[in-house]
Structures are given as C-alpha cells and as structure tokens.
Amino acid sequence: MSKTILGILASGRGSNMQAICNSIDAGLLHAKVGLVISDKANAKVLEHAAAKGIPAICIERKDFPSKQEFEAAIAQQLTLYHVDLVVLAGFMRILSAYFVNLFSGSIMNIHPSLLPAFPGLDAHEQAIAYGAKVSGCTIHFVDEGMDTGPIIMQQAVSILADDTVETLSERILAVEHKLYPQAIRLYCEQRLCIEGRNVKII
Ligand code: GRF
C-alpha cells in the first residue's frame, strides 16, 4: 500500500507534529509528511519541519483580501503536494465550509479536552475553572463548526486538586502525542468509517 501523504497545519510550537514524525520514523505509521503550513511566520513548527527536511511554508491571513482566498492558497499547496489527509495540530483558525468541503472527511484535529466539553480556546483553563475532575483529549474529523466534528478517539486524564494550566496541559499533551499518531494510523489503514456523527473503527 502506498504511503498516505499528510499535510500538517499548525500555528505554534509543533510538538504534535514532532510526535507524528517520530511515529513515522519508528515505522509505526505508514505515512509521509508532505508539507507543513503555518499561518505564523515565527512558529517553531516551521523550524522543526525544516530541520527534518520537510517543506515548511508560511501562509499568512493578512496577505489575502478574504478568508476564502487565504484558504484557497492553503488548499493549493496541499493539492500541489498531493496531500491525502490534512492534520490540524494547534492550527489556531476556524476553517470555513469552503475549505472543509474541499477535503471532506480528510481533515483531522486534536483538542485538549473531552469534547463536547470545553471547546475553543483555553480548554485546560476552562476545565479547571469549571471544577471538572476529568478532562483529556479528543481527535475528531473537522466540520465547519468549532471542535464539533465526528469524534475518532478520546482519552481521559484526571484533573488533580492542585493542577494548574501548566501541569494539566503537560499531562494531556503526553497523551496527545500517543493518541494522534494512532488515529492517523487508523486513517492510513482505511479503518475509519464516518456514519453521520459516528466514526466506526473497522
Ligand atoms: C495541543 O494542545 C493541541 O491539542 C491543541 O493545540 C496544541 C498544539 O500543541 N489543538 P503543539 O503545537 O502540537 O505542541
């Protein structure tokens, strides 16, 4: 079977991108990162990708008159690099229906809470402020909503009495780094079947 080509979109430090690359290097994931795109010129993820010899491109919203033209530029690069699966890894923008429809069923996101609890920004802070005893992370297919697409995998992480945003995010991040490559692997093995809101693992 040929390798699934991943296009990673990220805005920040890129630890999930690195975890995915490590899984590929360890032979656990039959995939190739075709390119990394960031909407932030100074994002660490671009440095990490370039250090690994992965094409690393910055596409900034401010350089386009409209959101659709910005997304079209991203889509153009993903197509140019023959991307099969778009992997959002800390990409801090909501993608419109236009973009989602271009890659329908082939965009994944990771979010640091057990969705539908605590969507959007500052998920760890939301969970602690709410007094939740459990949070975790969710990997889901992307639709045009914010963190609303069909759920692929979730794993719980306990919230401890003395947790801060830093300590909780560190423990959740360790789980993210294991779970995201697993979900991508299922996609690569064509074992994910979307039925409405339900993702069946076959
Ligand atoms: C992760 O916590 C992820 O769940 C969220 O953004 C963060 C990205 O971290 N969507 P990194 O850039 O992969 O280190």
Q: Which residues contact 188 (CB under 8 A, 6 or more apart)?
A: 3, 4, 29, 30, 31, 85
55 DSSP 8-state letter? -
User: Between 15-25 and 44-51, two packed helices, what is the crossing angle to 10 degrees?
Assistant: 20
The Cα–Cα gap between 23 and 45 comes to 17
Predicted local confidence at residue 10, as pLDDT: 98
90 lines ligand 1 (CB under 6 A): yes
95 is in an annotated binding site: yes
Predicted local confidence at residue 171, as pLDDT: 98
pLDDT tens, position by position, for the chain (202 residues)? 799 999 999 999 999 999 999 999 999 999 999 999 999 999 999 999 999 999 999 999 999 999 999 999 999 999 999 999 999 999 999 999 999 999 999 999 999 999 999 999 999 999 999 999 999 999 999 999 999 999 999 999 999 999 999 999 999 999 999 999 999 999 999 999 999 999 999 9
How many Cβ atoms from other residues are within 10 Å of residue 65's Cβ? 7
pTM listed for this prediction? 0.97
Predicted local confidence at residue 54, as pLDDT: 98
Of 19, 152, 32, give the one whose Cα is nearest residue 84. Answer: 32
The Cα–Cα gap between 74 and 15 comes to 21
Domains and CATH numbers, the chain: 4-201 (3.40.50.170)
The Cα–Cα gap between 151 and 199 comes to 6
Q: What is the chain's Cα-based Rg?
A: 16
Predicted local confidence at residue 1, as pLDDT: 75
Helix (H) or strand (E) holding 194: strand 192-195
Answer yes or no: are the C-beta atoms of 172 and 158 closer than 8 Å: no
- 16 alpha carbon – ligand 1 mean position (Å): 6
Beta bridge pairs of residue 110: 139
Residue nearest to atom 2 of ligand 1 (CA): 112
Residue nearest to atom 6 of ligand 1 (CA): 90
- 8 alpha carbon – ligand 1 mean position (Å): 12
Beta bridge pairs of residue 4: 31
10 lines ligand 1 (CB under 6 A): yes
57 is in an annotated binding site: no
200 is in an annotated binding site: no
**Structure-token match 């009495």, residue found:** 161
Predicted local confidence at residue 52, as pLDDT: 97
Q: Tokens at residue 51, please?
A: 């250090």
**Structure-token match 């069946």, residue found:** 200
- 90 alpha carbon – ligand 1 mean position (Å): 4
Q: Which residue among the candidates 48, 111, 140, 177 is catalytic per the annotation?
A: 111
Residue 116 amino acid letter: P
Predicted local confidence at residue 150, as pLDDT: 98
Predicted local confidence at residue 61, as pLDDT: 98
> What are the DSSP E strand ranges found in 39-164?
56-58, 85-88, 107-111, 134-141, 151-158
